[in-house]
Amino acid sequence: MKKHLLCTSAIALGVAAAPAAAQEWNLDWGGYYNTHVGFASVSGNGVPIGNDWDGMGILGDGEIIFTPSVTLDNGLTFGVNVQLEAQNSGNSQIDESYVTISSDTIGRIELGGENSAGYKSMVGAPGVGSFAIMSASVSGFAPIAHAFRQAAGSPWTEVAGNNDVQRVSYFTPSFNGLTVGVSYAPSTASNASNVGPFDRNTTTNVTDVFDIGVRYSQSFGSTDVTLGARWGTGAAADFNATTVAGVDGILGSADDVVALAPNLGSDPETWGIGAQVAFGAFTVGGHYAENDNGAVGGAGDQEGWSLGATYDLDGPWSVGLNGFMGTIEAGVNDTEYNAYKLAGSRELGAGVSWDIWAVYAENQNIGGVLNNDIDATIVGTSINLSF
């Protein structure tokens, strides 16, 4: 059976299999490590009485990325991408883990726990330095809530905010700068791990997730243009899981049970579009994206947009200013995440750079209560290593 599947895969790719023994593997690896040191000042009437988040914080972000590969005589390159987190995070030490099959003629296939083709095709506002306001970095220094993989926190959205689930993706070769990618994931359950079989009629996860992304990069004289767009959808769960009190009638006790209620919502969707234009030393750009998460009445739906500009100074320095604005629908009092960053970065050598930055970020109307806001000003510096 295993031999039959291997032969079928080779035929589908339109190539004849060559003996792997005649090839040699390239046991490559690399990675990055960014260290941020910042001082935060947190205020707002959403700060609980007695809490103090002012002061110095340190945030590390790094990965060791293993990318062994082998190119066969038929021109196909088979490879693996396994990303080992540099920080402890419960049992989730592996970020992304997938197989690649590629060539100049067929494009690229990805199989495993990885972001979708739509996610990887998107473009956001340009910025300088590694400390990103369109990620959860801000929440490492201040209690600012950030939407993960969704439009209220990032241009790089996923259907229902799924993250590195098991999927298959295909990217075309570049046609004069144009690349198209499509992805399919059976379920949004788990992160870069195996979930086994599941019942599509009763699952509480989104299933049959389909994504498509388009990216275009081209130079016109001294002007470089990069465009990105994505759309994705999935099948909503038939049921929503709710916790109800058990025999003792007390919710929150040991005998609580999980009950399934019919899901009256719609299928989730996400879409976005972004662009960057570089001319001379300047780069400008931005994006707009939405997540429709399928809840009744639109509760939890998200939107966000960004704008930014960078300038490469003569010598090793570059500077940039960018901003992000995101909203989560919550009835009368929507939740907002807004952030702005001014930064400078200096190249110190091969794979080494030093950043200085200032960030203002805020949550407005958090918890659905009017004027229950939190804002933070963070000033910091970063050392970035890429190897």
131 closest CA partner among 386, 383, 385: 383
State in words which class domain 26-386 has. mainly beta
CA dist., res. 279 & res. 224, Å (int): 7
Name residue, tokens 């300038």.
Answer: 311
Q: Which pLDDT score, from 0 to 100, does residue 262 have?
A: 85
Cα of 370 vs its chain's centroid, Å: 30
Other Cβ atoms within 10 Å of 84 Cβ, number: 16
CA dist., res. 294 & res. 216, Å (int): 30
pLDDT band at 189 (very low <50, low <70, confident <90, very high): confident
Residues 53-112 pLDDT 10s:
999 999 999 999 999 999 999 999 999 999 999 988 765 789 999 999 999 999 999 999
C-alpha triplet 18, 172, 219: angle, nearest 5°: 125
Q: Taking the model in full, what pTM does it have?
A: 0.88
Give the CA dihedral 254, 257, 263, 267, nearest 10 degrees.
60
Residues 226-248 pLDDT 10s:
999 999 999 998 887 788 888 88
Domain ranges of the chain: 26-386
